[in-house]
Structure 1
Amino acid sequence: MKSVTLKDVARAAGVSYATVSRALSGSSQIGSDTRERIIKLCDEMGYTTNYVARSMVMKKTDLIGLVVPSIDNEFMSQLAHYAEMSARTHGYNIMLCNSGPDLKQEKTVVKLLLGRKVDGILIVPQSPKTYENIQAYTDQVPTVFLSENLRDQPQSYVSVDNSLGTFLGMEYLYSLGHRDILYFGRRHSTTHQLRAEGYIRACQEMGLKQRFFNSEYSRSSIENGYQMAKELFSQPIDYTAIFASTDSNALGLLKAADELHIAIPERLSLIGFDNIPATALPRIDLTTIEQPMRAMAVQAVDMLLDKIERGTQGYVHQIMTPSLVKRGTCRSLQ
């Protein structure tokens, strides 16, 4: 099969190669009627720009790599959506890569993006080891980390104040009269360590006993939350509320509670973290902590483009403020 070239279009249009090239580049040297005729002919013939050749000339691909651990995670897919929309408004396209739970695969996809000569990379890291694992590659290309707090690492990132988010949720449960609150989730990443720290700080300041039910799973998902909840509910329920470290875990817990006829919020109050779209569905109506996903993605893209287009050096740590979204899974004990 033979691809359509500019010479093919020029021949069909009865004009020179240079005229077609100028028409497609928007040159003022070409009249509007000629430009429209050539563009229409390109569409009819199926001509597509050779971006590989163009990038070799321009030394720029207008591509941004986006690496996420799991695209089937609703929070990750929302971040990817907002990042793509933001990048597109600036004339860039997104090349999305799924790194999975394997550090080797994460490094592989970053190497792939460098081989594709992307202008920059946005990455949602899968573990605290990610930064060191790929540092040799991210040093070669403008990079911004998204959704993970790298604490004091000398790399740009955009995250939410995870510790504050958990503290806000605990304050709300406390205001409703809850004094026995269980923390349900994992602590494998810095993000989840910070969320757990917020829970610990709240317990200390409010005089509450710390109660953890930790996950051995390396990632949050509805299924993992469901399996964890079945194990949790096999033991006596001597607490009145649960703070789930993610909405995905909370949704899995809701499923298990429904199967076991544990009424929420009548028997147990429940709060999640992220505010993914599914939590607002009428039969779910989950109280949660909202991460400003759109603002985070837009800010990360802006930071990356600042590095790409202006050559900005150094790094920025942008930590955004979460908010409490009150819905129907928490009840007052007062």
Structure 2
Amino acid sequence: MRIKDIAAAAGVSTATVSRVLSGKQHVRPEVQEKVLDVIKEMNYSPNRAARSLRSKKSSSIGLIVADIQNPFFASLCRAVEDVAQDNNFSVILCNTDENPEKERNYLELMQNENAAGIILAPTGQLADHFPQQLADVCPMVIIDRKITGAAVDSVVIDNVTAAQQLTSHMLQHGYRRIAGLFGVHSVTGRDRRRGFNLAFADAGIVPEEELIIDLPAREADGHAAVSRLLERSDPPDAILTSSGLLAGGAFRAIRDKEIAVPEQLAFATFDESPWTAMTRPAITVIEQPTYAIGQTAGEMLFKRILDPTRPTRQVVLSSRLLVRHSCGC
């Protein structure tokens, strides 16, 4: 398929199609929209070598996430790669480990490699003070974390409301001494901690501060924290974790102590994983639309690459509470 085929289908000149593809100005908005619709319908992708020569951009996009070992990011990465392949692009994957210095290095690498665009799950430090010039340097979509300070495309879920819903579910089933484990370096962990506290406030109950733990969102840290909680003379009657990695370590600690769930201890977490449905009892979770987040972010990025002047958007996708037997339900 060639540019002239797109032009014929859209009823415009080949020069107009070229201007739309290169992101140049002087194309009427209604004409540009029509051309972009035809490009999508006909599944057209410009020749990668020619595109790179014209734009001085590579045929790769950057995907910068916190930790690929987190099941949340594994599914999301797959979706981004699927969208990139559909557009004849490759993906450069980077892990920041929530480390701002690593994040800066990877963002610089993407610029040095002339990446055509970036999908980024920012660290808490960057999310809190996101410079507009960073979004202006390269087409970009933010995932998983809300940012302040810049107009940039993003795909998120409402983490505060989701954590509030999960915590309220446990409170409604009679649990009062709920230990909450939250990722200390991430915006999502902070938002989920806020939702946890809001649920207690809604119920007119004051949570026990010593049972609210901020820690690195790693399996080993989840295991260590829950092991300590269960060794207390007054252990909690329920545990909630804010990520799949924390959940894996926490549940392993519960099994190590031979504690019966839910008879002795209720348990719930964010992130659906294969083990959460297969273990006995099955685990109550907040299921995030991980593939849809990655797919939506990828599609938004390629629209931004084709049309750098389009208005920025924030897409908020819905999570889902999956009620199972780990809370005695």
Common fold by TM > 0.5: yes
Quick check: 165-174 or 58-67, which moved more?
Answer: 58-67
Relative to structure 1, the CA distance from residue 142 to residue 198 in structure 2 (aligned partners, 3 Å threshold; closer, same or farther) is same
CA deviation after TM superposition for structure 1 residue 293, in Å: 0.8
CA distance in 2, matches of 1:87, 1:134: 26
CA distance in 1, matches of 2:161, 2:266: 20
Relative to structure 1, the CA distance from residue 216 to residue 269 in structure 2 (aligned partners, 3 Å threshold; closer, same or farther) is closer
CA distance in 2, matches of 1:93, 1:283: 40
Is 2:197 aligned against 1:181? no
Is 2:156 aligned against 1:159? yes
2:190 corresponds to which letter in structure 1? Answer: Q
Is 2:261 aligned against 1:251? no
Q: Specify the alignment match of 2:120 in structure 1.
A: 123
CA distance in 2, matches of 1:115, 1:234: 51
CA distance in 2, matches of 1:156, 1:228: 36
Normalized against structure 1, the TM-score is what?
0.77
CA distance in 1, matches of 2:77, 2:184: 24
Give 3-state SS (helix, strand or coil) of 1:86's partner: helix
Q: Specify the alignment match of 1:294 in structure 2.
A: 291
**Structure 2: unaligned runs, 5 residues or longer:** 6-46
CA distance in 1, matches of 2:112, 2:131: 14
Quick check: 149-158 or 284-293, which moved more?
Answer: 149-158
CA distance in 2, matches of 1:236, 1:135: 51
1:197 corresponds to which letter in structure 2? Answer: R
CA distance in 1, matches of 2:74, 2:281: 20
Is 2:168 aligned against 1:168? no
- Deviation string 1:70-91 (CA, Å, 9 cap, x unpaired) is 2222222221111111222233
Normalized against structure 2, the TM-score is what?
0.78
Would the aligned equivalents of 2:117 and 2:138 in 1 still touch at CA under 8 Å?
yes
Number of equivalences: 287
CA deviation after TM superposition for structure 1 residue 189, in Å: 2.5
Give 3-state SS (helix, strand or coil) of 1:129's partner: helix
CA deviation after TM superposition for structure 1 residue 215, in Å: 4.1
CA deviation after TM superposition for structure 1 residue 225, in Å: 0.4
CA distance in 2, matches of 1:72, 1:254: 17
Q: How does 1:158-237 map to 2 (within 5 A)?
A: 158-212=155-209, 213-215=211-213, 217=215, 219-237=216-234
Please tell me the root mean square deviation across aligned C-alpha atoms, in Å. 2.8
Would the aligned equivalents of 1:66 and 1:121 in 2 still touch at CA under 8 Å?
yes
Q: Specify the alignment match of 1:16 in structure 2.
A: none
Quick check: 107-116 or 242-251, which moved more?
Answer: 242-251
- Deviation string 1:154-211 (CA, Å, 9 cap, x unpaired) is 3221111101111211232233232332222234332122111111111111122213
Relative to structure 1, the CA distance from residue 284 to residue 91 in structure 2 (aligned partners, 3 Å threshold; closer, same or farther) is farther
Q: How does 1:1-334 map to 2 (within 5 A)?
A: 55-57=52-54, 59-130=56-127, 132=129, 136-150=133-147, 153-212=150-209, 213-215=211-213, 217=215, 219-283=216-280, 285-332=282-329
CA deviation after TM superposition for structure 1 residue 52, in Å: 6.9
1:221 corresponds to which letter in structure 2? Answer: R
- Deviation string 1:234-275 (CA, Å, 9 cap, x unpaired) is 213453222211222122111111111221111011110122
CA distance in 1, matches of 2:281, 2:133: 44
CA distance in 1, matches of 2:300, 2:51: 25
CA deviation after TM superposition for structure 1 residue 133, in Å: 6.9
Greater gyration radius:
1
2:282 corresponds to which letter in structure 1? Answer: D
CA distance in 1, matches of 2:316, 2:51: 37
CA distance in 1, matches of 2:177, 2:303: 47
CA deviation after TM superposition for structure 1 residue 152, in Å: 6.3
CA deviation after TM superposition for structure 1 residue 127, in Å: 2.0
**Structure 1: unaligned runs, 5 residues or longer:** 1-23, 29-49
1:145 corresponds to which letter in structure 2? Answer: I
Give 3-state SS (helix, strand or coil) of 2:325's partner: coil
CA deviation after TM superposition for structure 1 residue 134, in Å: 7.0
